[in-house]
Structure 1
Amino acid sequence: MNAMQHPYAGNGNHTGSYYAASANPAPLRAQLQGDHETDVCVVGAGFSGLSTALHLAEKGYKVTVVEGARIGWGASGRNGGQIVNGLNASLETIGRRYGDDTARFVAGLVLEGGEIIRERVKTYGIQCDLKHGNVFAALTSKHMRDLEERWKLWRGFGMTNQEMLTREQMREHVNSDLYAGGMIDHMGGHMHPLNLALGEGAAVERLGGTIFEMSPVTSVDTEAARPVVRTKGGTITCKTLVLCGNAYLGHVVPTLTWRVMPVSTQIMATKPLGEALARELMPSDVCIEDVRYILDYYRMSADNRLLFGGGTVYGGADPKDIKAKLWKNLNKVFPQLQGTEIDYAWSGNFALSFSRVPQMGRIGQNTYFAHGYSGHGVTGSHTFGRILSEAINGDLTRFDTFANLPWIPFPGGRMFRVPYSVIGSWWYAVRDKLGV
């Protein structure tokens, strides 16, 4: 393993997560050395980049992916592994902000990301412990009213994949006294995210694509007729460039740096609980997330560990003690797990947009980007990868709809966006506690 320190990724190794410890075997790809040419260069081997690259490779394009660390090193290999349909911003919010036509457009694609994942797993034989179903958990009567409004809204757009759950029905999915009820999405699910990313990377290579790892991009030339990507070891000149660095793109492309803000979230994994206890706690083996502003999310792994996540740190810093931060809420859900050993705890960043709507666009004529999934990137990134591939292949219909949505900068600018967001999160946390 190359021990060189990278600007954002240390030595490039995956973080000390349960996912990294249980990852499928994967080769260490070569670093970029020398000068290369390709049809499409994708910066970032997370879900957005891999989805874009795989769709294009299937269309016959010569595709090269450049990753600063390992495939899935960032959010794509660290997240909760939950297939949650929809954007962070609700369809109601999108309709109010951008109009009914945009809301109908978004409603027509919110199930697409999960469908793409299931198709990829089946087509390429990806072993990632894919399971079905996710539940939104309500802690209060106000949460239940909100979920009922969402259920009605989605049905109004012709989507019948969601079903309301009473308090008693919730126990069929999570054996806890905490919840007032919930809503199940039968088209949701969960999986091992790092193994999904590794499988998609292998599929890109199977179709003739090239992936360079451990190759942080130092600069890009988006003004040239043929964009150029530079690393310490070499260059790639391409007909089309796609930027998918998301929360880890850093300052390589200043135009994009301040469109989003990195936010960290934390997860920990218990020791294996055994089949009997796992089914006692979560009988249907779905994944759960509650509907608070700062939410908890959790599920059982394939080897019956509870993977429990939550919390946010605006600006992307790691908390000093992840276990201490998460234990309090875990014990509220499952007090019977008090004192259970925690084998892994880790943190990772997602990119937050102020509007909570992902951003997609173009710099110049031949450079595309997508980022800002705001905590809903597992499905959104797969959908956006397909839309980017459509645009590069000449069909700009869906790309233009997203690219033309106005993006909103964070209030307070570069200096005050973090404290502003912290104050806002406190306000919503108080509302959650008061049930208003």
Structure 2
Amino acid sequence: MLQVNFLRDNKERVLEGLKKRQFKNLELVDEAIAADDERKRIQFELDSQLSEINKISKEIGLLMKEGKKEEAESAKSKTAQYKESSSELKSQLECKENDLLNILYLLPNIPNELVKSGASADDNEIIFQSHPVEGLGEGAIPHWELAKKYNLIDFELGVKIAGAGFPVYLGKGARLQRALVQYFLDKNVEKGYTEVNPPHVVNEASGFGTGQLPDKEGQMYYINEDKLYLIPTAEVPVTNLYRDVLFDEKDLPIKNTAFSQCYRREAGSYGAHVRGLNRLHQFEKVEIVRIEKPENSYAVLEEMVEHIKEILTDLELPFRVLRLCGGDTGFGSAMTYDFEVWSAAQEMWLEVSSVSNYETFQANRLKCRYKGDGKSQLVHTLNGSAMALPRIMAALLENNQTTEGIKLPKKIAEYARFDVIN
């Protein structure tokens, strides 16, 4: 969430940033500033009346001591009027604070200056590609057919149990999933991340804290009786570990990694791009989360990018890195890099990771600060997928298919304890 003082002091920059995102409701900036002006006016009037009540209360005490009961009673009557008025002002103040908050919730983050303007994924910048790619040629089959051929994943059984988008992994398919999860966690721990195992459901405050609410409410599964949401990513519970926390400067940085199931309704998804593992309602993912001092966050973002590149290199998959344009950057992010792997049988790029710097956007919602040089300030939060499993699995199956079976990359074969699927 953007701070209203930032909107006021950097209005032109804010408007330009929102235009980069193709954000249409620019009037919300002025509405937020106006709501804050009214909030300040009410607060000043309330403070003045409370000060007057305190002043008169002291006078009443002196008048009573001096035996001036009639004057004291008159003063009490005036105090009662002020109290009634201040009670009304408190109610007005609460309403105006809620109005301001609701406006701020609707404003996305301002993109970093390096982020280019753009409307969609077509405008994203390719900043790195591991090597040229090509299809596998005649006879190559997509991962959903490979999964059926080698009895790795049963999509129809998942439909029977839960519905489309809930696959059942079997035999070596399940073992390969488990191997990938362990490999990703180990790689992250080697880089200094502390593993945590968070809840897979969160409350409303947690959803607002990391920006899923109100922006992505329709994409989340909701448990009505308990007022809880199934998590769309481990980022949500892990980052919320630090909600309402004031760090000492020496405690930073915080580096966490977590494995979780992820749940996304993916409302409105259809077409060939959602076949097989390309888009699911439930999937596994390993996440990395950083809490950093502001001056370090962009160097850390680049460090996280290099870490993901190292993982994909180990997986021996053709990949590329994109810096997202304003219109494709997530609601709370100031800068995002996407990683895509080449699906040789489908001959298309599949997104497998996003790494983002949220700057103070989440921290302001979370009230997550650190104290240094005698003052407290908001931290910067960053997160990334390291990695999301479904499309990694799809690319591994498709890119490594041979006439003898599917040959796994060396690193993953060590974890899976088999090197070929046949």
Larger RCO: Structure 1 or Structure 2 (Cα < 8 Å, ≥ 6 residues apart)?
Answer: 1
Same fold (TM over 0.5): no
Considering fraction of residues, name the structure with more helix.
2
Structure 2 length as normaliser, TM-score? 0.24
For normalisation by structure 1, the TM-score amounts to 0.24
- Structure with a larger share of its residues in strand: 1
